[in-house]
Structure 1
Amino acid sequence: MLSKTLLCLAVCTLSLPVLADTVWLKNGDRLSGTIKLFDGGKLLLETDYGGAIAIKLNKIATLQSDQKLLIKQDAASGELAKALQPAAEGQVTLVNGTAPKTIELASIEQILRPKPFVQDLVWSGNVDLSLDYKNAEHTTEDYEVDFKTKARHGDWRHIAEGSYNREFRDDFMVTDNWDAEYALDRFLDEHWFWQGRLAYKRDKIEDVSRQRTIGTGPGYQFWDNELGAFSLGSLLNRSDYEYSNGNKENFYSVGMKWDYNRYLLGKSVELFTSGELDKPLGAVADYALDAEAGLRYKVTDWASLHVKAEKNLISDGSDGDLDETHYSIGFGIGW
């Protein structure tokens, strides 16, 4: 009995390295970890000894992995491999249940992990902080905090986001506003979902002092994987505007929302944009745009630097139009 137990322990011990993905380098080194993705000429390997490591393709001799991976040799199609086996230098063998196929590493454009159906709660998000101080003819101080978080469980996805912005010019406050939004998505299949959302914005400086919106409508998730996500949604909204002079306006509108992010250079750089364009019903010239776009550079696994542009535009066909463009550079944390 003791010998059988020792034998089992020995087999388990010897099997542990096999469970990890392996990358052989052309200089003879071997790295073990988990292949996260390959894109932009770099392979991202997650290790327990050095975190995420980006490896240039021209430094890799061959690969081995026991996980299912989507191998894309062009932008239009891909092949799902059940495993990767090492081959001659500059090559890798795809194991897909039929005859193994050996391909050139240089022919691979992307390697992605297929995203499984979400059973447990998956939570992600980021908080961006920015501070701008200028001491010239006018002294300007600008503070901004933005957050966005998503939680997915099964067919349900929760999205919460908000921001706070305050700006002083010569000790006189010229900007003071905050906003918050919550959206709940119910996925009907892999791509289509139905969304309901609540949004509120408070501005103590501009003519439009309060905005309240409730909306619902269908959306489509084009993709959501290791390289990023892209979704579009159409909403029927009920909006309430309250102006600084006490006037109020209630109306319905149709809107289009977008949310796009794309990781580049082994997930060290993120390109992102999101926003909404609304058209009030029954008013030909009126519209509202709230959008942002920017770049985020990861300094560590959780810290990042960002540059961002934000646009807030409300046109009501009068001199009271609101048109703001804001640029910021700052520090952020992500999870």
Structure 2
Amino acid sequence: MARQEFCHSFIKELKIMFHIKLNLACSLIITLSATSVADEIILMNGDILQGSQAEKTDSHIIWNADNFGNLSISLDQVRTVNGVSISNTPIEISQSIREEAPLASARRFFGESFSGSTAAFGNMSSGNDERNEWGLDSEISWLKEDLRHRSALGYENKSTDDNQSAVEYRLSHSVDWFFKDTWFWSNQGSFGANDNRAIDKFYTLGSNIGNQFWDDDEGSLLAETGIVWISEAFIDGTKDDRVTMSWSSDYRKLLFKQVGLSHSHQLLVAIEDPDNTQLSADIGFDFPLINNLFTKISLEWTYDNQPVEGVEKIDRKLNLGVNYSW
């Protein structure tokens, strides 16, 4: 009973937070649309000049700076205008650039590498089978100097005709320090719960060495290995604390210049009991709809060779939803 009350309370609080954030986002968008957006140019040396673009030639941009008047700036010294590369910008700053001002503001705070995605999926059935399922997945990352931050949030709710709700959620954050070229030292933590696997709550802390083999507009690949401490409290009252060896990878590739392919996995092997092993993997495709909106299809697979009593070793899940990326 206490578990059900916690789940219902958590879902209620999540919906309230979602509506608050949605209202704040709408207010911000309306405010930015109703007011003029100050133009801003960022130079290669990091200098930021407020003002407006007066003219652009093949080699220079004439910038009417608020504090210095008209300046003639070589294009190879310009990084962005309002967060957008100057390379293909027309003489007048287009309306599309102004519409990207909120994202440009976020990138000025988090850094030029700020990126992320949000996916929503769900289904509802009625008749002989009364069931509702919905979920959200969100990821963001940003790089400041030698530190990269990666955050992820996942939430899923399933309810059946007998009003039984199964909740799964996970929140994680990692900080990667690039100490040499593409090599980095990563420290991460996460917490969550998974009713489907009878896990009331879990916590993880890990430290890994990884390599970012490549990361560009066409795709990316990273691999990590290290030590992860896991603490799991099960619904039946039992608990499992263990230190594991971890190996994980994340691969993304743009196919035919428009279809996104993604694959990731993580293998965990307990140091004191190598037979206690977990493997999770997923593969997905993003098919373009409009602009940065995609139809997302993904298959998730989880294997646990020592699950709690009454739980199957293997879980499979096929998701179909909508994904927005930036």
Q: Which TM bucket (shorter chain)?
A: 0.5 to 0.7
Once the two structures are TM-superposed, the CA of residue 14 in structure 1 deviates from its matched residue by 6.0
Once the two structures are TM-superposed, the CA of residue 216 in structure 1 deviates from its matched residue by 0.2
Could you say which residue in structure 1 is the equivalent of 2:295? 305
Q: Which shifted more, 319-328 or 127-136? A: 319-328
Question: Cα deviation per residue 1:129-167 (whole Å; 9 max; x = unaligned)?
Answer: 012122352122110100111111121100001210011
The alpha-carbon distance between structure 1 residues 333 and 254, as it changes in their structure 2 partners (threshold 3 A), is same
Contact preservation (8 Å) 2:121, 2:321? yes
Give the residue type in structure 2 aligned to 1:234: T
Contact preservation (8 Å) 2:307, 2:313? no
Give the residue type in structure 1 aligned to 2:194: D
Identify the structure with the greater strand proportion: 1
1:282 aligns with 2:253: no
Could you say which residue in structure 2 is the equivalent of 1:271? 261
Give the residue type in structure 2 aligned to 1:295: F
Question: Cα deviation per residue 1:98-139 (whole Å; 9 max; x = unaligned)?
Answer: xxxxxxxxxxxxxxxxxxxxx944200000001212235212
Could you say which residue in structure 2 is the equivalent of 1:325? 316
Q: Distance in 2 between matches of 1:251 and 1:315?
A: 15
The alpha-carbon distance between structure 1 residues 317 and 137, as it changes in their structure 2 partners (threshold 3 A), is closer
Could you say which residue in structure 2 is the equivalent of 1:246? 237
Matches within 5 A, 1:174-189: 175-189=166-180
Give the residue type in structure 2 aligned to 1:173: Q
Instruction: Give the TM-score normalised by structure 2.
Output: 0.65
The match for 2:144 among 125, 134, 153 is 153
Once the two structures are TM-superposed, the CA of residue 16 in structure 1 deviates from its matched residue by 6.4
Contact preservation (8 Å) 2:250, 2:263? yes
Could you say which residue in structure 2 is the equivalent of 1:5? none
Give the residue type in structure 2 aligned to 1:223: W
Contact preservation (8 Å) 1:206, 1:244? no
Question: Cα deviation per residue 1:181-207 (whole Å; 9 max; x = unaligned)?
Answer: 111100122211110000112124532
Once the two structures are TM-superposed, the CA of residue 318 in structure 1 deviates from its matched residue by 6.6
Matches within 5 A, 1:1-335: 13=57, 15=59, 120-173=111-164, 175-266=166-257, 268-316=258-306, 319=309, 320-335=311-326
Give the residue type in structure 2 aligned to 1:258: S
Could you say which residue in structure 2 is the equivalent of 1:8? none
Q: Distance in 2 between matches of 1:183 and 1:14?
A: 43
CA-based RMSD of the aligned residues comes to 2.9
The alpha-carbon distance between structure 1 residues 169 and 34, as it changes in their structure 2 partners (threshold 3 A), is farther
Once the two structures are TM-superposed, the CA of residue 298 in structure 1 deviates from its matched residue by 2.3
Q: Distance in 1 between matches of 2:240 and 2:173?
A: 22
Give the residue type in structure 2 aligned to 1:297: F
SS of 2:197's partner is coil
The alpha-carbon distance between structure 1 residues 19 and 128, as it changes in their structure 2 partners (threshold 3 A), is same
- 1 or 2 for the larger relative contact order (CA 8 Å, sep ≥6)? 1
Q: Distance in 1 between matches of 2:307 and 2:298?
A: 29
The alpha-carbon distance between structure 1 residues 241 and 296, as it changes in their structure 2 partners (threshold 3 A), is same
Give the residue type in structure 1 aligned to 2:251: Y
Q: Distance in 2 between matches of 1:295 and 1:171?
A: 34
Give the residue type in structure 2 aligned to 1:129: A
The alpha-carbon distance between structure 1 residues 259 and 48, as it changes in their structure 2 partners (threshold 3 A), is farther
Q: Distance in 1 between matches of 2:282 and 2:249?
A: 10
- Gaps of at least 5 residues in structure 1 are 1-10, 21-32, 36-46, 52-118
Once the two structures are TM-superposed, the CA of residue 215 in structure 1 deviates from its matched residue by 0.6
Give the residue type in structure 1 aligned to 2:265: G
Q: Distance in 1 between matches of 2:279 and 2:116?
A: 24
Give the residue type in structure 1 aligned to 2:274: V
Once the two structures are TM-superposed, the CA of residue 175 in structure 1 deviates from its matched residue by 2.5
Q: Distance in 1 between matches of 2:315 and 2:164?
A: 16
SS of 2:290's partner is coil
Once the two structures are TM-superposed, the CA of residue 322 in structure 1 deviates from its matched residue by 4.5
Identify the structure with the greater helix proportion: 2
Give the residue type in structure 1 aligned to 2:295: L
Once the two structures are TM-superposed, the CA of residue 214 in structure 1 deviates from its matched residue by 0.3
- Gaps of at least 5 residues in structure 2 are 1-54, 62-73, 77-85, 98-109
Q: Distance in 2 between matches of 1:239 and 1:144?
A: 24
Give the residue type in structure 2 aligned to 1:264: L
Q: Which shifted more, 173-182 or 188-197? A: 173-182
SS of 2:180's partner is coil
Aligned length: 235
Give the residue type in structure 1 aligned to 2:249: W
